[in-house]
Amino acid sequence: MSVESLYSLQDFEFSYAPNQRGILSVPSLAINAGLCLALAGPNGSGKTTLLKLLNNLIPLG
């Protein structure tokens, strides 16, 4: 049985403006269907930004 990835990122970097340095860097991430997970980290580490990007609440490009 194969596992379907709902989200998959590889070498992803995000910044709010094209000429700004990246504020979020994701070397590798795969979230599989049916998986329950938690994001943990200090204030300002990008947890909310990552969730907004995954749910298309922040447009890319």
- Dist. CA 56–CA 38, nearest whole Å: 19
How far is residue 35's CA from residue 23's CA, in Å, rounded to a whole number?
26
pTM: 0.79
* The one-letter amino acid at 23: I
Amino acid at position 45, single letter: S
Mean pLDDT of 3-18: 89
Residue-range domain boundaries for the chain: 5-54
On the question of pLDDT at 35 being above 90, the answer is: no
The yes-or-no verdict on residue 39 having pLDDT over 70 is yes
